[in-house]
Amino acid sequence: MKRPTILVLGAGYGGLTTVVNLQKSLGADDANIVLINKNEYHYESTWLHEAAAGTMSPESVRYDIKDVINSNKVKFVQAEVQAIDVTGKVVTTNVGTHTYDYLVISLGFEGETFGIPGLDKYALSMANVKAARQIREHIEYQFATWSTEEVKDDSRLTIVVGGAGFTGIEFLGELGNRVPELCKEFDVPQEKVRVLCVEAAPMVLPGFDPELVDYAVRHLNSKGIEFSIGTPVVEATPEGVNIKKGEDVFEFVKAGTVVWAAGVRGNRLIEETGIENMRARVKVDKDLRAPGYSDVFIVGDCALMINEAVNRPFPPTAQIAMQQGDMCANNIIALMKGEPTSDFTPDLKGSVCSLGDSDAIGVVFGKKVTGTKASFMKKMIDNRALFMIGGLGLTLKKGKFNLLK
């Protein structure tokens, strides 16, 4: 019998979990498993706010893919996917083409700008580790330039964060700790620095528990962070952002740094596949296959599943991406054996939003948590993700062990 080729695109949480599970369950002769990723490393997307604020080095949020794959069973190709032809069953990359019997698309998320003018050009977004590093360096550059300028432009020290979802709030939590460090490092009086979060919805962390939201806002306010709520950003320019404050009322905020954290979409390559999608997310069948394509699985942020209890999509999270990776591997193996596939149901354990290194808020197994306890849980969740993919060795190498800080 012909050995099938399983081609996995993207080594984020979804893709890497799929590959790690396939290599555990299959023998070296059972299949050709090929993993393609842009970089030779995986980065923890869930830690990007730390790399962006500069509270963690970009190096610390990533690890070599070769450290977690078995090269006897998996061929790793460092390449950038450029096109996916699901009819001809060919994937084109910058270094060659690949055919497949089973395809797993796990190319992750991109920042969504909703067509708001100027954001693509003038705002920074922490969509990957290189972009996160750019935010860190941009902020440092603004502080360094301010301290050498003869005629000082204080707006260099204004940081606007668009969006008070989980990403925006976690980034602000890190900035709360980082700004005093930056001021010390670059001889900047802290009262000159302004950090403003602009949120379109009428509340911070829309839809989250109001008591926990209140805790987070008080914590961030105590660090000097301001909020403008119910006021969408409508434009970005080289000088800053325009905010809609009411019917025909706009305020321009001059800012040296604009970080856009107001939502995500799937990878743009999905839009060119011909598979029906919404903002590059495919409403997958229950067994994670793309509708109409029996050999194409989609996992992680490029997949969309409806939570029937509330008739809304499940949020794109690492938690779900990893669970989908498990199921995707099982379903490919089932198809190889001629057995039926299983349906995917997310097992939601809760969510914890960090507020810097030593504080957090969350709901875990239905219980609210705050403070050191929540921060401890967040670090344990981060360590668990490492453990699930790379076992104890990777956890000890890259894990967070300042647990009670």
Selecting among 170, 199, 235, 247, the annotated active-site residue is 170
Site for ligand NAD, residues 213 to 232, rule: CB under 6 A: 232
- Rounded to 5°, the CA angle 202-207-209 comes to 110
Q: If contact means CB under 5 to 8 A according to the sort of partner, which of ligand NAD, ligand FAD, none does residue 12 touch?
A: ligand FAD
DSSP string covering 56-88: S-GGGGEEEGGGTS-TTTEEEEE--EEEEETTT
Q: Do 3 and 29 form a contact (C-beta atoms < 8 A)?
A: yes
For residue 200, state whether it binds ligand NAD (rule: CB under 6 A): yes
Q: Closest distance between ligand FAD and the C-beta of residue 380, in Å? A: 12
Query: How far is residue 6's CA from residue 20's CA, in Å, rounded to a whole number?
Result: 13
Please identify, among the stretches 19-27, 38-46, 242-250, 336-344, the one whose residues bind ligand FAD according to the rule CB under 6 A: 38-46
Q: Which of 263, 300, 356, 399 binds ligand FAD (CB under 6 A)?
A: 300
**CB-wise, 157 or 280, nearer to ligand FAD?**
280
Q: Is 271 a catalytic residue?
A: no
For residue 317, state whether it binds ligand NAD (rule: CB under 6 A): yes
Instruction: Write the interaction track for ligand NAD spanning residues 236-275; mark x where CB under 6 A is met and - where it is not.
Output: -------------------------xxxx-----------
Q: Across the strands, what pairs with 350?
A: 364
Q: Do 341 and 335 form a contact (C-beta atoms < 8 A)?
A: yes
Q: If contact means CB under 5 to 8 A according to the sort of partner, which of ligand FAD, ligand NAD, none does residue 165 touch?
A: ligand NAD
Q: How many residues does the chain have?
A: 405
For residue 10, state whether it binds ligand FAD (rule: CB under 6 A): yes
Q: Across the strands, what pairs with 259?
A: 124, 161
Tokens 């055919």 correspond to: 99
For residue 44, state whether it binds ligand NAD (rule: CB under 6 A): no
HSE-CB of 229 using CA atoms within 13 angstroms? 12
Helix axes 318-336, 371-398, angle to 10 degrees: 50
In eight-state DSSP terms, residue 2 is: P
Site for ligand NAD, residues 125 to 164, rule: CB under 6 A: 162-164
Q: What is the largest CA-CA distance in the chain?
A: 75
Query: How far is residue 40's CA from residue 22's CA, in Å, rounded to a whole number?
Result: 20
Question: Helices marked H in 255-337 — which ranges?
Answer: 318-336
Q: If contact means CB under 5 to 8 A according to the sort of partner, which of ligand FAD, ligand NAD, none does residue 206 touch?
A: ligand NAD
For residue 318, state whether it binds ligand FAD (rule: CB under 6 A): yes
Under the rule (CB under 6 A), what is the footprint of ligand NAD? 116, 162-168, 170, 198-201, 206, 232-233, 261-264, 315-317, 351-353
Binding site for ligand FAD (CB under 6 A): 10-15, 36-39, 42, 45-46, 48-49, 80-81, 106-109, 126, 128, 167, 170, 267, 269, 300-301, 316-319, 321
**Residues carrying an active site annotation:** 170
